[in-house]
């Protein structure tokens, strides 16, 4: 069997449990491989993980996360919370770009996996410009970079 043979991406309803389990256990490593340019067709695990990321369910989850960030930025800061504080001023300044990104996630098909992989740390990492403004790259620039990665054709 040749190493160049592509592995088909299994459909959600027909995925063996062992494959789902392996992908769940190794998702961070699979994400790293995909981010480095590995082809989803190079293994069943990569194909399934790419399919998960490109699914409407996952894209809607990312879009909802962006919308929750915007809602939180519009409310007064809570002094008694363990949550990392939002960079409210920067988030509100990037409002139009964040809404456009959420719309892309909800309504565009065929989004690039590498762009989708940028979203999770963007939404959850304390080092994200959503929470920690960076002098090297503005929040607006980061959002535009993610958008470009999503739509790269």
97-113 per-position pLDDT tens digit: 999 999 999 999 899 99
Tell if the pTM clears 0.95, that is, is over it. Answer: no
Over range 123-130, report the average pLDDT. Answer: 93
Place of tokens 């770009």: 97
pLDDT at 121 over 60: yes
pLDDT at 1 over 50: no
Same-domain pairing of 29 and 65 = no
Same-domain pairing of 118 and 94 = yes
The structure tokens listed for 61 are: 């989850």
Cα 67 from Cα 51, distance rounded (Å): 23
Same-domain pairing of 98 and 139 = yes
Residue 5 lies in a domain: no
pLDDT at 2 over 90: no
Instruction: Identify the domain containing residue 18 by its residue range.
Output: 12-54
Number of domains present in the structure of the chain: 2
What does 40-51 look like in DSSP terms, one character per residue?
GGG-HHHHHHHH
Place of tokens 């160049």: 4
Same-domain pairing of 107 and 140 = yes
Same-domain pairing of 82 and 71 = yes
Same-domain pairing of 45 and 67 = no
Predicted local confidence at residue 146, as pLDDT = 97
The structure tokens listed for 83 are: 């949550």
């Amino acid at each position: 069997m040749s190493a160049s043979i592509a592995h088909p991406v299994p459909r959600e309803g027909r995925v063996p449990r062992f494959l789902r389990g392996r992908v769940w256990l190794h998702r961070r490593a699979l994400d790293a491989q995909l981010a480095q340019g590995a082809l989803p067709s190079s293994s069943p695990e990569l194909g399934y993980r790419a399919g998960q990321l490109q699914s409407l369910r996952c894209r809607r989850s990312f879009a909802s996360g962006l919308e929750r960030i915007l809602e939180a930025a519009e409310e007064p800061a809570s002094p008694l919370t363990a949550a990392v504080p939002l960079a409210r001023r920067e988030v509100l300044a990037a409002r139009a770009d964040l809404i456009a990104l959420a719309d892309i996630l909800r309504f565009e098909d065929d989004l690039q996996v590498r762009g989708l992989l940028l979203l999770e740390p963007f939404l959850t990492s304390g080092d994200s410009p959503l929470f920690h403004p960076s002098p090297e790259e503005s929040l607006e620039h980061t959002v535009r970079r993610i958008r470009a990665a999503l739509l790269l054709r």
